[in-house]
Amino acid sequence: MLSRSIVPAPKSALTLLQALELTNVYLENAYRTTDSNIALVLCHDAEGALSQAKNANKKHPIHPKDPEHQMLHDGMAAAYIDLGKLLERQGYQAESQVIRKKAEKWG
């Protein structure tokens, strides 16, 4: 039996900045937990939030001359690097390398 969520979904998609902030929340908590299963779930959620950030950037790209442009690109690269480190720490070497290559695209 499928249960319905009581909590309503957001009315709009997250912005790039919001998705990046959400990613960082997941990553910070993944670093803090001592439970490897919880850390892996948080890494999975962080990857999903990074995907939302990429989609937000495609829909509403920040102009390269915008002062926030470099900060957000650096933030995306850092988030991918952190995710790669966490995956490596969990023993997922191949997945870590794939994530680190994505960081290079943003860096």
Give the pLDDT band (50/70/90) at residue 2: low
- What is the reported pLDDT for 8? 81
- CA contacts within 13 A on the Cβ side of 40: 8
What is the residue extent of each domain of the chain? 20-106
Tens digit of pLDDT for each residue in 22-57? Answer: 999 999 999 999 999 999 999 999 999 999 998 888
Tens digit of pLDDT for each residue in 53-98? Answer: 988 888 888 888 888 888 888 999 999 999 999 999 999 999 999 9
- What is the reported pLDDT for 75? 93
- DSSP string covering 26-75: HHHHHHH-S-HHHHHHHHHHHHHHHHHHHHHHHHSPPPTTSHHHHHHHHH
- What is the reported pLDDT for 62? 80
